Amino acid sequence: MAYKIIFQDLKDIDYKEAWDYQEKCFRQVMDFKQDRSKTLPEKAEGYLLFCEHPHVYTLGKSGEQNNLLISDEFLKSINATYYKIDRGGDITYHGPGQIVGYPIIDLERFGLGLKKYIESLEEAIIAVVAEYGIEAGRLKGATGVWLDADKPNKARKMCAIGVRASRFVTMHGFAFNVNTQLDYFNHINPCGFVDKGVTSMEKELGHKMDYQQVQQKTKKHLGRVFGMQFLDI
């Protein structure tokens, strides 16, 4: 069964603006779940939003404030902003060269629990990087997509995942490092880890990636893993 999902590339967008738009889409999906007469545009069942953000740090509801290692003044000096938000997980960074994906779907329609949903997001990103010859996987006890997860001194994260689900309708999602400026991660304990590294496709392969090509492959594999039929608007 294919699920009709509206795909939108919001391109370079302020974090708060994207968050507000997510909330709008979330309310539409929630209303549709509770009353099928309230149809979504194009008779779809949910959304997949892609975007890039200007430099921003976000702290999940279970995160520790002290995992942000810099002052407000330093934040301003590096042109970054900071938000406490309502997803799971700890602190992470979003910025240029990173594919940020926000699936807003009803997991009950897909027959998924939250754990399986997160594993499916991981599966899609693992498949994307495999097309470029990068072997990635999972790290026990942590979400996201990792390289050398079985080597404690070498484990590094390429894609972070932090989601929120209310009545099984999802928000937030993943942050996939393609051509990301990794030095911005030096100012936090990424996802609360003090002993794990962060990486990007650019760093691993030694050259700048074709961002649009990687984005299209990410969309393709998400569609395959979840059985989504995309409606581009």
Active site residues: 191
Give the list of residues 6+ apart from residue 202 with CB closer than 8 angstroms, or none: 97, 178, 179, 180, 208, 209
Burial 172-202 (b: 16+ CB within 10 A, else e): bbbbbbbbbebebbebbbbbbbeebbbbbbb
Record the tokens describing residue 2, joined without a space.
């294919």
Cα(66)–Cα(116) distance, integer angstroms: 30
N- to C-terminal Cα separation, the chain:
22
Cα(134)–Cα(143) distance, integer angstroms: 18
Record the tokens describing residue 115, joined without a space.
């754990």
Pick the closest to residue 50 from 113, 145, 124 (CA basis).
Answer: 124
